[in-house]
Amino acid sequence: MSEKLQKILANAGLGSRREIEKWIEGGRVSVNGSIAKLGERATDKDTIRVDGRIISIISAEETYTRVLAYNKPLGEVSTKKDPEGRATVFDNLPNTSFGRWISIGRLDINTTGLLLFTNNGELAHRLMHPSYQVERKYAVRVHGEVTPEMISNLTKGVLIEGDTCQFTYVQDKGGEGANHWYEVGLAEGKNREVRKLWESQGVEVSRLMRVQYGPISLPTRLSRGRWVDLEEQEINDLAKLVELEVTPRRARPEVQKRQKKNIWKKR
């Protein structure tokens, strides 16, 4: 059964449908040797190339969405390859059955905590897109005196590099001396936005950790540098948040049938 080309390539984990539509318009995609046109349909039996490279396509019935929660340690960069040879967040990830791992947002080298990865390009695109306002939560240790006026500024909005930035909330988490912990929320994930917001008030962020992305919290027992697969319900909750229907690995019909068959065998 044929499907639109951008959907096939998104299912293969190459990117979001909108991103792939731009590839097609730019002449980067071909089907059976001919440059593809936007709106063209294909099947897993066709030979599809992107930038001349043959793409391994799996039929729609065999594709599934997988999401990993990773606890990022200090010192790792959020790119697949680093020209300086530094460790990356992709180094410790497992292999995928198809497609590639896509990072849902990024964390800078000095930020730790929750980083999500998926093999579903459309899901990654929507979870990062500002229009969906997916909230991120961070634990922040601040060095310096923080006044009620500063917190009011941070939630009402501060002009940073021409853009108005703000926290959705700021919650005092305690501390001693000049160092104090806060939990903050962001509806977008602009580059170094948490640090820049606090610095706009004349205080310094000494530690920063992401603790939640949308409905997914950092697992309490997940060690730094380790990953865990999200459960079927957690994946569905993420997809529902951005109005997308997905098929998690554990929900695939053939898996359910096989599990049922195994139960009958045990009886």
Q: pLDDT tens for residues 218-262?
A: 998 999 999 999 999 999 999 999 999 888 876 444 333 323 322
Residue 57 lies in a domain: yes
Query: Which CATH number goes with the domain that contains 118?
Result: 3.30.2350.10
Residue 233 lies in a domain: no
Q: Are residues 152 and 189 in the same domain?
A: yes
Which of 57, 64, 51, 53 shows the shortest CA–CA distance to 3?
A: 57
Which residues belong to the active site?
108
Residue 72 lies in a domain: yes
Other residues' Cβ atoms within 10 Å of the Cβ of residue 87: 14
Measure the CA–CA gap between 203 and 150, rounded to whole angstroms. 10
Q: Are residues 42 and 74 in the same domain?
A: no
Residue range 60-105, pLDDT digits in tens:
666 789 999 999 999 999 988 888 989 999 999 998 877 789 999 9
Six-digit token string for 61: 């019935």
Give the C-alpha distances (Å, rounded to integers) separating 3 from 44, 50, 144, 220: 9, 17, 57, 41
Residue 13 lies in a domain: yes
pLDDT score, position 254: 39
Which of 234, 157, 225, 255 shows the shortest CA–CA distance to 197?
A: 157
Give the C-alpha distances (Å, rounded to integers) separating 159 from 43, 133, 141, 155, 193: 49, 19, 22, 12, 11
Q: Are residues 46 and 121 in the same domain?
A: no
Q: Is the pLDDT of residue 177 over 80?
A: no
Domain span including residue 125: 67-227
Q: What is the pTM of this model?
A: 0.79
User: Which residue among 61, 82, 102 closes a domain?
Assistant: 61
- Are 166 and 190 contacting, i.e. CB atoms less than 8 angstroms apart? no
User: Which residue among 61, 79, 107 closes a domain?
Assistant: 61
Residue range 6-61, pLDDT digits in tens:
888 887 778 788 889 999 999 999 999 999 999 999 987 899 999 999 987 766 66
How many domains is the chain partitioned into structurally? 2
Residue 91 lies in a domain: yes
